[in-house]
Amino acid sequence: MENKAVNKAVLVRLLRYALNDKKKLAIAIGLLFAGALADVSGPWLIQHFIDNYIAKDNYPIEAIAMLAAAYIGLMIIGAGLKYAQSIRFNTIAIGVVQTVRKQLFGKVLNQPLSAFDYMPTGKLISRITNDTESIKDFYVFVIATVLKNVTLISVMLVVMSFLSWRLTIIVLILLPIVIFIMVIYQRKSANAYRKMRDLLADINASMSESIQGMSLIQLMRQERAFSEQFSSLTNNHLRAQVGVMKLNGLLLRPLIDLLSGIALISLVALFGVSGVELIGVGVLYAFISYLGRVTEPLIEMTQQLSLLQQALVASERIFALIDAKQQDYGDDEQAIQLGELQCKNVSFSYDGEQTVLNNIDIHLHHRGFLALVGHTGSGKSTLASLMMGFYPASQGEILVDKRLLTDLHKTVFRDGIAMVQQDPHILSDTVRENIQLGRNVTDVVIWDALDKVGLAAQIRQYSDGLDTLFGSGEANLSAGQKQLLALARVLVAKPKILILDEATANIDSGTEKKIQLALNVLRQDMSIVVIAHRLSTIMDADEIVVLHRGDITERGTHQQLLTEKGHYWQMYQLQQASEHLHQLEEETIVTI
């Protein structure tokens, strides 16, 4: 977004949301106009009473009673119209906020995962909540105030011109000066409000990250450091707010009040020079009354500039997310039948400079079992992310059933290829909802999936079974059990390609054997890619690919790689030694 005081494109786009319901907006504006007429009629009636009755010392009871009744009636009607238009504008504002929030969240859900690599969760939540609330304030206060006051000032100027064109000229001189002040304020406050909104987003991000990482903070005794960081952010936000308040205190009410006072003195001076022959006392009263009613709307509109500025800054951030590139999918709606996967000369870099994967060639056959191994940072998980379409390959191509991965339709893609990650996300919901995830899956299918992963016995121990809420005290899953639940979540969909990214890292040897048996059954109908540090889980793989710093250094079966005595053989020997030491420790403990 361009760094301007007022981004006209953003303002126009923001106003378009209100035009979605033109009828409702027209009714609200009509109520505003009617309310302005009722508001302006009061001083005109009093002027008529002063000049036609008090000045002439004539007090007809019937006429005065009618004037009083008309005045009271206008006040009541005006109050009712203000209430009605306020309800209308609030309804429009709430509707716009709901539309923007739904649109924004929908766009966020469909962005590529790479978009979340550099965006803290707190900042994202701030945009969806705080920024959309600023848009509501824009419609409730700014738009309603501007329309109401512009209508009121326009009607008053017309009435004033009929009463006295000389006095009207004095009031008209005030308007361009006030508009000039408003423009200066707008330009001065733009960057200040933008900085304030950014700091608020940083505060939300800091709170979110601190709460999520509370165990790490306390374990590393970094409470003081994080507290100081948060204090620094809040102090900067406070200074930004104080700067805005100083700007408001200088350019808003004081200057306009000064101009209003000068205009009032000018009115009285002109009346003194002209005399009652040219300007009646009632007319002077009406003008003084209208002057107050003109300056107050001007002050009110100028004060609303702060909300306008906040709304524009918030809208810039919201529209930037809405307009951000969405996850790309193809148009090929033919379902994946075989689950054959190929990577042809695939290279990838996150930043365009450092290569993470280099010329990867892999062929996973129908119902095949492919294993990816290597030390940390070798590129295993990155390759899995490319297979899942989380990132596009920098070079080369990935094929599924001899079709480009990028050509597959979203439904075909996500139904046919599934992944179980190392740290799966578990919802604060029931066991059933955690597995269904909004899909139409029967309890029979759910129990079958739980049986296959060895988690059914654990769930049956809960009194509520599939209706048990996670996080409720009774149901607190271990890290390994969460991985099993995530695997069951995937199995109910019966994908053609299943990718396990360290999904067996946190389970014991007994559960691992159950998973291996389940995978042997699943291989009858799907192809499997397993990323593993524990080599015991991949000994039956059709092909094991060893990655080192983004390159394939070895490939073959378990026995072939042991014969070559390369990286894989070293990794296997180290794990065998580690398991042997662990077994000796357990035997020693039992003996003691």
pLDDT in tens, 479-538: 777 878 888 888 888 889 999 887 666 666 666 676 777 677 777 788 999 988 778 778
Going by C-alpha positions, the residue among 44, 143, 31 that lies closest to residue 78 is: 31
For residue 251, what pLDDT band results from cuts at 50, 70 and 90?
low
pLDDT tens sequence across 431-490: 888 888 878 888 898 998 888 877 888 888 888 888 888 865 556 777 777 878 888 888
Distances (CA, A) of 404 to 343, 345, 456: 10, 14, 38
For 460, counting Cβ atoms within 10 Å of its Cβ (0-12 exposed, 13-18 middle, 19+ buried), the class is exposed
The pLDDT value recorded for residue 344 is: 93
Question: How many folded domains does the chain comprise?
Answer: 2
> In this structure, is residue 472 part of a structural domain?
no
145 and 287 share one domain: yes
As a whole-number percent, the residues of the chain with pLDDT over 70 amount to 78
Q: Are residues 223 and 372 in the same domain?
A: no
My answer on whether 131 and 265 are in the same domain is yes
Same domain membership, residue 214 and residue 175: yes
Rounded CA gap, 437 and 427, in Å? 9
Residues 76 and 223 in one domain: yes
288 and 350 both lie in a single domain: no
Euclidean distance between CA atoms 467 and 470, whole angstroms: 9
Q: Give 75-82 contacts, CB < 8 A, sequence gap 24+.
A: 75/38, 75/42, 77/38, 78/35, 78/38, 78/39, 78/42, 81/31, 81/32, 81/34, 81/35, 81/38, 82/35
> What residues have CB less than 8 Å from 335, skipping those under 6 apart?
412, 415, 416
Residues 315 and 402 in one domain: no
What's this model's pTM, rounded to 2 decimal places? 0.64
Amino acid, res. 336? I
310 and 350 belong to one structural domain: no
Task: Give the structural domain span for 274.
Answer: 8-322
State how far the Cα of 365 lies from the Cα of 497, in Å rounded to an integer: 10
Q: Which residue has the tokens 């094929």?
A: 399
Q: Are residues 401 and 262 in the same domain?
A: no
**Do both 309 and 345 map to the same domain?**
no
Q: Looking at the domain assignment, is residue 1 inside a domain?
A: no
Q: Are 270 and 167 in contact (CB under 8 A)?
A: yes
* Residue 431 placed within a domain: no
Q: Is residue 114 included in any domain, yes or no?
A: yes
Q: Say if residues 363 and 497 touch (Cβ distance below 8 Å).
A: no
Query: Token pair of 573, please?
Result: 């020997």
Whichever domain contains 392, its CATH number is 3.40.50.300
CATH of the domain at 82: 1.20.1560.10
For residue 421, pLDDT beyond 50: yes
Strand partners, 497: 417, 527
For residue 456, is it within any domain? Answer: no
Residue 351 lies in a domain: yes
Single out the residue of 462, 466, 464 nearest to residue 449, CA to CA. 466
Which residues, 6 or more positions from 102, have their beta carbon under 8 angstroms from its beta carbon?
Answer: none
Pairwise CA distance, residues 374 & 571, whole Å: 8
My answer on whether 316 and 363 are in the same domain is no
Q: Does a structural domain hold residue 116?
A: yes
Which tens digit of pLDDT belongs to each residue from 63-87? 778 878 887 888 888 888 888 888 8
Residue that finishes a domain, picked among 278, 293, 322: 322
Listed residues 322, 350, 375: the one ending a domain: 322
Q: Considering 288, 322, 356, which residue would you say is the last residue of a domain?
A: 322
- Whether 330 is in a domain gets the answer no
> Are residues 209 and 132 part of one domain?
yes
